[in-house]
Structure 1
Amino acid sequence: MAVSTARLTKMVVEQLTEALAAEGFVSSEPLDSAGGSEPGTRTPSWTSVWFIAPDSGVPHMTAAVEAYIQRGNYGGVGITARAWIVSSAVEDVLRGFSADALAKGGWDLNYMEAVNFGFFERPLDPGEISVGGEPGVVHAVGEFMRLLRGPVAEWFSRFGDSSKLLEVARAASTQGMDRENPHPVLLRAVVVLSVLNGRVGDSATLMDWYLRRDVFHKWDSLDRALAFDAEMSRRFPQYAQARGH
């Protein structure tokens, strides 16, 4: 007898929760605005479960993983696994900034960076981890954990301390159409986070470097970056002093 997709989803969630707990991850409410399941229906077509890593390595920053479990067209479910770097402290600051000072794009204000687990092995088509039936749950959870312990752990390590954050903020984006310029959402978050963590001089230096660039990511512009710099100076007097404002 075939197992319902609701039952498969429940099994995936239970086994993922157990496997991730063994690695120190803790269940969490969703850390984005999408919520935990498809709204407005008794039988949602998708469910999203989140788990926070034991230590991001940086104060005021959270490393997390998400399993987005979606009902398949022909039975079974697919798991889209994502790694996230977010900061509620950054969100608290950016909430007071004008839209013209922020990068374009539809990210939540706590967002710093994210990646699909499948990107590391199939960057052009990350795909899903398929679960065709009950026997496939163990394999799917094992695949999730294999990627987590391997390329995803390495990806998390890129953000693993405040100095690494300053470096990765300057690097070209590794995803999306623009892979020549720094990601403007991440850069702004690192500027804010560095101030919050007492690295005001480093924050000011990073912003000075960014404003001296000739080219910006397609979601940014010199005018937007200057507006952000001005907002930071108004919000943080120590930053304004470090920037010479």
Structure 2
Amino acid sequence: MSTHDTLAGANYEGRKALATSKIKKFQQLLSAELSPALADQGFLPGSAPRGMEGLWFASKSPSLPHATAAVKVVVESRRDWLGMSAYAHLTSDAVAEIVRNMPDPARAADSSDDSPYLGSIELVGFASFIKPAPAGEFLLVNPSSVPRAADWFLQCVRGPVAEWFLQRDSVSKLVDLAKFPTAAAVDRKSPSSMRLRATVILCALEGRLADAAGLMRWYLTEGRFDGLDSPEQASAFDIALGQQFPGYAEARKMMD
């Protein structure tokens, strides 16, 4: 390796270390600013799903015992500043575990074991509701930016994000939503395979076997698969789910 390459590598590592240090500093500032207000909304600091970056604040819903509502803050390095983005998640560790136990032919294309979204039912960016800037991120130029960034975040949590969670606070609501594309989907004809499959599993976990079987029958009959799923994969998923939940298999037989 030449001297020039060595110096370039050292400079890169130095810039990377500096960026990491800045990100940690702003994460600490944001956590201190947000934690008390989010606790009032029922969201407490926690650990994000394995492999997922950012500050994670979660809330358990009594109406969906196997699911978790969470909001996430991500701070990332840009050229001369940091950018903050935020997301609302409806996720389930139990759903993720069911997927991990499924054979590969039954899985959708995005469901490898190391995926941080393995248990994701649905997620949405806060910028879909209130854009903080044209680029969709809140710019963190210096520490004085933090209170304004926190205000934007909390404005979303108390308003449109709260409404988003309210529209997903029961199995029945999730089953209805699963039949439609997500708001940000490019494919406006096909339902999200991630959301639909996760909803079917969640129904089974909650003991709503008829709902699970009915939604899966609808999915296979409609045949509107997005780019991550196929008739063969969906049929294998149906069979694998019946093996894990015998009651689901019985409910499916009654519908065919």
TM-score of the superposed pair, with normalisation by structure 2: 0.82
Secondary structure of 2:29's counterpart equals helix
Q: CA RMSD in A?
A: 2.0
**Aligned mate of 1:65, from 67, 71, 74:** 71
Partner residue in 2 for 1:89:
94
Pairwise CA distance, 1:176 = 3.3
Pairwise CA distance, 1:230 = 0.6
Q: Is the 8 A contact 1:159 1:165 kept in 2?
A: yes
Partner residue in 2 for 1:152:
161
**Aligned mate of 2:104, from 99, 102, 118:** 99
Partner residue in 1 for 2:249:
240
Secondary structure of 1:205's counterpart equals helix
Describe the shift of the 1:216–1:202 C-alpha distance in structure 2 as closer, same or farther (beyond 3 A): same
Partner residue in 2 for 1:120:
129
Q: Is the 8 A contact 2:99 2:118 kept in 1?
A: yes
Pairwise CA distance, 1:54 = 4.6
Pairwise CA distance, 1:142 = 0.3
Partner residue in 2 for 1:53:
59
For the residues of structure 2 that align with 1:173 and 1:201, how far apart are their CA atoms? Answer: 24
Partner residue in 1 for 2:40:
22
**Aligned mate of 2:28, from 4, 7, 10:** 10
For the residues of structure 1 that align with 2:78 and 2:62, how far apart are their CA atoms? Answer: 33
> What percent of counterpart residues are identical?
34
State which drifts further: 98-107 or 183-192: 98-107
Amino acid at match of 2:67: M
Amino acid at match of 1:170: K
Partner residue in 1 for 2:178:
169
Cα deviation, 1:180-233, whole Å, max 9, x if unaligned, reads 211111111111111111111111111111110132111111111101001011
Describe the shift of the 1:229–1:51 C-alpha distance in structure 2 as closer, same or farther (beyond 3 A): same
Q: Is the 8 A contact 2:175 2:199 kept in 1?
A: yes
Amino acid at match of 1:133: N
Q: Is the 8 A contact 2:191 2:224 kept in 1?
A: no
Secondary structure of 2:159's counterpart equals helix
For the residues of structure 2 that align with 1:30 and 1:210, how far apart are their CA atoms? Answer: 30
For the residues of structure 1 that align with 2:170 and 2:68, how far apart are their CA atoms? Answer: 12
Rg (Cα) greater in structure: 2
For the residues of structure 2 that align with 1:244 and 1:10, how far apart are their CA atoms? Answer: 53
**Aligned mate of 1:220, from 219, 222, 229:** 229
For the residues of structure 2 that align with 1:72 and 1:173, how far apart are their CA atoms? Answer: 29
The structure where helix makes up a greater share of residues is 2
State which drifts further: 51-60 or 94-103: 51-60
Q: Is the 8 A contact 1:103 1:219 kept in 2?
A: yes
Secondary structure of 1:238's counterpart equals helix
TM-score of the superposed pair, with normalisation by structure 1: 0.85
Partner residue in 1 for 2:14:
none
Partner residue in 2 for 1:205:
214
Secondary structure of 2:149's counterpart equals helix
Structure 1 residue ranges (4+ consecutive) displaced by more than 4 angstroms after TM superposition = none
Pairwise CA distance, 1:7 = 3.6
What stretches of structure 2 of length at least 5 have no aligned partner? 1-20
For the residues of structure 1 that align with 2:122 and 2:49, how far apart are their CA atoms? Answer: 12
Amino acid at match of 1:11: L
Pairwise CA distance, 1:53 = 2.1
Pairwise CA distance, 1:73 = 2.1
Amino acid at match of 2:180: A
Pairwise CA distance, 1:155 = 1.2
